[in-house]
Amino acid sequence: MAGALLALPGCGVDAEGGGRSYRGTTLAHALPRPSFTLTDTHGQPFDFRSRTDHTVTLLFFGYLNCPDVCPVHLTNIAAVMQKLPYDVTRTLRVVFVTTDPGRDTPEKLQSWLANFDSSFVGLRGTPEQVRAIEKSLELPPAVADAPDSAGDYQIGHAAQVIAFAPDDSAHVVYPFGTRQADWLHDLPLLAQVK
Amino acid sequence: MNVQWWCSARGLPWRWQWTPYPGVWIAVLALGAAYARWSKPLDSGTSANGVSAARRIGGWIAVLLVWLTLDWPGGPLGTGYLASVHGAQFLSLAMIGPPLLLRGIDPDRVRALLDRSPGTARIVGFATKPLFAMIAFTIVMLATHAPGAVDVLMRSQLGAFALDIAWFISGLAFWWPVVLDAPVREHFGPPMRMLYLFAGTQAHLYLAMWLLLADLPVYGIYELAPRVTSLSALEDQQVAGGLLLTIGGTYVLAVISVVFFRWFADPQTDG
């Protein structure tokens, strides 16, 4: 899968981040929580910065027809949320930005995300807007494959989930291959970052 | 068409598209040919024993079971997508197939081989010595279900092949002293066989409970595989544990019961 090729290596390796040991991949330099506004699945503007301020926010770029990386990531995050204490989940936001706004209509996006967890936020924007956000987060831009004879196509996209901590910075990302045990270990740590 | 010689986990989305596995065909053909030879009475003119038609058919069912277990779609599903199918594969290759095959073999043919080949007799005698076979079976079962081993072995065709062969060979060795009395073991009568089956499958039950009660998916290969069914990775793992516990446990209990009631009906019997 093209998306998987974009995954960062190093999953499962303990990384030191601010004195805490994460199982995700620690970034060489922290990424500030970006400011952008996209449209949510209700058609309303969603100001990412203000709506997720001081929370643990897992930001992920993908698309509904993704056969592997997206559903596996979201399934694992949703499964772990059922096991985490309320103190952690109440400050946890999961934001999914579609890289395929042409096919991922608001209705489809909402219904698909609700299959994982009804609290997951789905956002849509123009390809240019999404590319600009990806660039600001130092992610490779999503690239669509050539359509097949049926008109279907897949999209190569960044496979890592970016985790913003309550200090409004991302110190660590989670590539494809992150296990539920890793999420269960790291999310409480991230929630404690001040 | 993408041809692999043996199934391995590839991390690709599952498709209901037939895939050939020539290595599986060769292995099953070899098994079938060996069984056809060994299930034939040693000398149809003089052999008093031979094997009953029911036992011979049971052996062919085992060959069929091995084929269905290893070939598409069961093979790739169990190798890279579903822990539940992987559990069923273990039951088939290590618990159900071997005794069915061994029961279909003509014991006279085995005795004749062991009589004329002391080297083979030594190897078979040692490998099927109950204590050794039981320990080896337990070690293989535990080692091949360790998350580290599964996650590494299943990613390569050679690793998956080694795991399948280890299950089958250790299963044959484990079931041999229960099913075949060659070489003769005077002190391994029905009571010892029952005890042997009970003790030899304890690890299996603990393994099943561990899969059933784990809070998280224990195998990365299945947790990170694109989903094939609506079951989550954890639910699928629980099904695997449930299969091992219910089908595996019931099967062993049934065999122990048969040995017991035959012995109870006629204490002179071989069980």
ipTM for the complex shown: 0.88
Q: What is the mean pLDDT of chain B?
A: 94
Burial of A131 (0-12, 13-18, 19+ CB in 10 A): middle
Query: Is it the case that residue A1 has pLDDT exceeding 50?
Result: no
pLDDT greater than 50 at residue A22: yes
User: What phi-psi label fits residue A19: left (phi over 0), alpha (psi between -120 and 50 degrees) or beta?
Assistant: left
The Cα–Cα gap between B134 and B174 comes to 6
Cβ–Cβ under 8 Å, residues B84 and B243: yes
Q: pLDDT tens-digit profile of B209-220? A: 999 999 999 999
Q: Does B228 touch chain A (CB under 8 A)?
A: no
Q: Which residues contact A45 (CB under 8 A, 6 or more apart)?
A: A37, A38, A39
List the single residue in A with minimal CA-CA distance to B223: A179
**Mean pLDDT in residue range B181-187:** 85
Chain-chain contact of A71 with B232 (C-beta, under 8 angstroms) = no
B183 preceded by a cis bond (ω within 30 of 0) = yes
Share of chain A above pLDDT 70, in %: 90
**pLDDT for res B153:** 97
- Over residues B107-128, the mean pLDDT reads 94
Nearest CA in chain B to A175: B224
CA distance B69 to A191: 46
**What residues of chain B lie within 8 A of the CB of A67, using their CB?**
13, 226
- Closest Cα in chain B, distance from residue A109 (Å): 19
Mean pLDDT value across residues B84-96: 98
Asked if A1's CB is within 8 angstroms of B12's CB, the reply is yes
Give A4's contacts in chain B (Cβ within 8 Å). Answer: 11
Q: At what angle do helices B249-265 and B202-213 cross, to 10 degrees?
A: 150
The pLDDT of residue B269 is 67
Distance from CA of B9 to the nearest CA of A (A): 14
Q: What's the burial of A155, exposed, middle or buried (CB within 10 Å: 0-12/13-18/19+)? A: buried
CA separation for the pair A79, A72 (Å, rounded) = 10
Length of chain A in terms of residues written: 194
How far CA B119 is from CA of B88, B115, B126, in Å, comes to: 35, 10, 11
Instruction: Enumerate the β-bridge partners of residue A94.
Output: A58
The reply to whether A71 touches chain B by the CB within 8 Å rule is yes
> What are the pLDDT digits (tens) for A5-20?
343 434 333 334 455 6
Q: Please tell me which residue of chain B has the smallest CA distance to A67.
A: B13
Q: What is the pLDDT of residue A6?
A: 41
Interchain contact A145–B (C-beta under 8 A): no
Write out pLDDT tens, residues A35-63. Answer: 999 999 999 999 999 999 999 999 999 99
Q: Kindly report the nearest CA distance between residue A76 and chain B, in angstroms.
A: 8
The residue of chain B with its CA nearest to that of A179 is B220
Nearest residue, CB atoms, A68 vs list B217, B220, B226? B226
Q: Do A181 and B216 touch (CB under 8 A)?
A: yes
Q: Which helix (H) or strand (E) holds B156?
A: none
Q: How confident is the model at residue A87 (pLDDT cuts 50, 70, 90)?
A: very high
- Contact A180/B226, CB-based, under 8 Å? no
CA distance B11 to chain A (A): 8
Residues of B in contact with A63 (CB under 8 A): none
Inter-chain touch B232–A79, beta carbons under 8 Å: yes
